[in-house]
Structure formats: structure tokens, C-alpha cells
């Protein structure tokens, strides 16, 4: 459990005076979140929650996911980033005739996905360990990058671009904060399906600032407010990108 700490720090000035600096709790909390091992935390959480998640109501195949599929070449190779149980998206792409590699940090999720979608390939792998070069026609990330803090998010973004072929597509779904001026890091450790895990909302400006300089063209943005028993009210933002340049 994380502790929210108010800290008094004293500095001695050259003149011998004492400066009392009060560090606000949200700053301390933000630093704690940045140093938190979010990979281990989330791996444990999703291993424990896998069976509960399988019983949850899955989201529908939205229109931007359909557009992603329509723009892919015939027999395209897709990387499903954080594939979960394989439903509904991995199965959807396999049923449409695509080759799919699904990766997930949770071994329990991988076991379930192999049963749900036997014609896809699945590997237990963190997205932080991606090491592909110009391999995929499309990369599909449905809420999986919410599990990354900003530092890891930027690093994984670079690995995604490296993994995509020229003209490859990236589908990225995340949640936006409910209030634009909120402290996004303050409540980034949350309880979902009874498990404590890291999940951070991202602003459109943050996302574009990270991905645009890496050589991606934004094709379309879609927003939707979704409510479910398992995840509450989510302000979803979906983005479709196309790789325009070879990232060196």
C-alpha cells in the first residue's frame, strides 16, 4: 500500500538563515509512482484477476478497430499488445484471416487466450521487452499502455515504432482524465477486479507529443464514454496512426 506523505525539509542558506520548504503530498506521491515497479505490480494483479476478467463483459468491436482492420493489407501480421484473454479482438482479427501474435505480461491470461483463440500465437512478454524490427503491418493496443508510467510509456512508444513496417498502422486506446487539470499521477494506483494495479490516464496532447516526433501520422481520433461494473466510468480515447518514416 502506498503512503501519501507530507514532508518538511530544511535548507541552510549561505547567510545562515533557515528555509522551511513544505513539499506537497501530490509531488511526493508522483515521485513514488515514478519509482514504483509497475511491471511487477501489474503482473501480479493480472495473474490474480485473469479468471475474473474472463467472466467480465467484453467490449464491442468499435468502428475504429474496424477501420484499422480495413486499412491493413491482405494476410497482414498484427501484434496484439496486451492481448489479455484473446477476446474479443485477437479472435476478431484471426477470424478475418490475419496472422496475430498476442503478448501479455500475465501467464494466466496467456493460458486462457490459447484456449479462446487456438489459431493465434501467444507469448508471455512485457511490452517493455519488445525487440522487433519492421515486422508488423499493424500493432493493436487496447488499453494496455494505461499500465505504463510516463517514462515507460515513452520507451515503449519507441519500441512500437521500431516494430512497425513502413506504412504500418497503430491502433491505440487509452483513457483520458475526467478533469483536464487533474493530477494524473495522484490516483494512478487503483483497485480493479479486486486487485491493486497501476493505471494512468493520458491527455491527447501527451500522446501526440510522444508519438508524432517518432514518425507517425495521425489518421483519426475517436472518443467514447464507457460504463461497466468492472471498470466504472471510462473516458476512452482511441487513435489510429500510420508510420510514415523509417525510424533510425
| 110 in the same domain as 167 | yes
| 79 in the same domain as 1 | no
| 124 in the same domain as 13 | no
Return the higher-pLDDT residue of 179 and 8: 179
Return the higher-pLDDT residue of 60 and 77: 77
Residue 57 is assigned to a structural domain of this protein? yes
What confidence tens digit (pLDDT) does each residue in 12-26 have?
333 444 333 332 333
Residue 29 is assigned to a structural domain of this protein? yes
| 98 in the same domain as 17 | no
Question: Residue 10: is its pLDDT beyond 60?
Answer: no
Question: Residue 137: is its pLDDT beyond 60?
Answer: yes
Residue 226 is assigned to a structural domain of this protein? yes
Return the higher-pLDDT residue of 230 and 153: 153
Task: Provide the pairing of β-strand 77-81 with 195-198.
Answer: unpaired
Confidence of residue 36 (pLDDT cuts 50, 70, 90): confident
If you average pLDDT over residues 39-68, what whole number do you get? 92
Q: Is residue 80 a contact partner of residue 101, using CB atoms and an 8 Å limit? A: yes
| 18 in the same domain as 115 | no
Residue 147 is assigned to a structural domain of this protein? yes
Residue 222 is assigned to a structural domain of this protein? yes
Beta carbons within 8 Å of 219's beta carbon, 6+ residues apart:
71, 169, 240, 241, 242
Residue 72 is assigned to a structural domain of this protein? yes
Angle (CA) 117-123-124 rounded to 5° is: 120
Question: Residue 147: is its pLDDT beyond 90?
Answer: yes
What confidence tens digit (pLDDT) does each residue in 119-135 have?
999 999 999 999 999 99
Q: Is residue 147 a contact partner of residue 199, using CB atoms and an 8 Å limit? A: yes
Question: Residue 42: is its pLDDT beyond 70?
Answer: yes
| 58 in the same domain as 137 | yes
Average pLDDT, the chain: 85
| 74 in the same domain as 15 | no
| 165 in the same domain as 50 | yes
Cell of 63: 468502428
pLDDT at residue 246, as a whole number: 52
Confidence of residue 145 (pLDDT cuts 50, 70, 90): very high
| 184 in the same domain as 143 | yes
pLDDT at residue 12, as a whole number: 30
How large a percentage of the chain has pLDDT more than 70?
A: 81
The total domain count for the chain is 2
| 97 in the same domain as 21 | no
Confidence of residue 245 (pLDDT cuts 50, 70, 90): low
What is the domain-level CATH number for residue 72? 3.40.50.150
Q: CA dist 28 to 5, 32, 182, Å? A: 7, 6, 16
| 165 in the same domain as 73 | yes
Q: Which domain holds residue 6?
A: 1-35
Whether the bond between 19 and the residue before it is cis, its omega within 30 degrees of 0, is no
If you average pLDDT over residues 180-184, what whole number do you get? 69
What confidence tens digit (pLDDT) does each residue in 80-99 have?
999 999 999 999 999 999 99
Residue 47 is assigned to a structural domain of this protein? yes
| 213 in the same domain as 231 | yes
Question: Residue 4: is its pLDDT beyond 80?
Answer: no
Residue 248 is assigned to a structural domain of this protein? no
Distance from C-alpha of 33 to C-alpha of 27, rounded to nearest angstrom: 10
Amino acid at each position: 500500500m502506498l503512503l501519501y506523505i507530507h514532508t518538511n525539509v530544511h535548507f541552510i542558506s549561505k547567510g545562515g538563515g533557515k528555509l522551511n520548504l513544505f513539499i506537497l503530498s501530490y509531488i511526493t506521491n508522483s515521485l513514488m509512482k515514478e519509482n514504483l515497479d509497475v511491471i511487477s505490480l501489474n503482473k501480479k494483479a493480472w495473474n490474480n484477476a485473469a479468471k475474473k476478467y474472463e467472466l467480465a463483459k467484453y467490449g464491442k468491436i468499435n468502428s475504429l478497430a474496424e477501420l484499422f482492420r480495413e486499412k491493413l493489407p491482405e494476410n497482414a501480421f498484427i501484434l496484439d499488445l496486451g492481448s489479455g484473454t484473446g477476446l474479443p479482438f485477437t479472435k476478431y482479427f484471426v477470424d478475418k484471416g490475419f496472422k496475430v501474435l498476442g503478448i501479455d505480461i500475465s501467464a494466466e491470461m496467456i493460458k486462457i487466450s490459447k484456449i479462446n483463440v487456438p489459431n493465434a500465437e501467444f507469448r508471455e512478454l512485457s511490452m517493455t521487452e519488445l525487440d522487433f524490427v519492421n515486422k508488423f503491418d499493424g500493432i493493436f493496443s487496447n488499453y494496455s499502455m494505461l499500465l505504463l508510467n510516463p517514462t515507460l510509456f515513452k520507451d515503449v512508444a519507441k519500441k512500437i515504432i521500431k516494430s512497425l513496417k513502413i506504412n504500418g498502422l497503430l491502433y491505440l486506446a487509452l483513457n483520458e482524465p475526467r478533469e483536464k487539470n487533474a493530477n494524473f499521477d495522484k490516483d494512478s494506483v487503483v483497485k480493479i477486479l479486486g486487485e491493486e494495479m497501476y493505471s494512468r490516464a493520458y491527455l491527447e496532447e501527451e500522446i501526440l507529443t510522444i508519438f508524432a516526433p517518432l514518425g507517425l501520422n495521425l489518421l483519426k481520433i475517436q472518443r467514447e464514454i464507457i460504463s461497466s461494473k468492472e471498470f466504472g466510468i471510462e473516458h476512452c480515447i482511441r487513435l489510429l496512426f500510420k508510420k510514415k518514416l523509417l525510424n533510425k
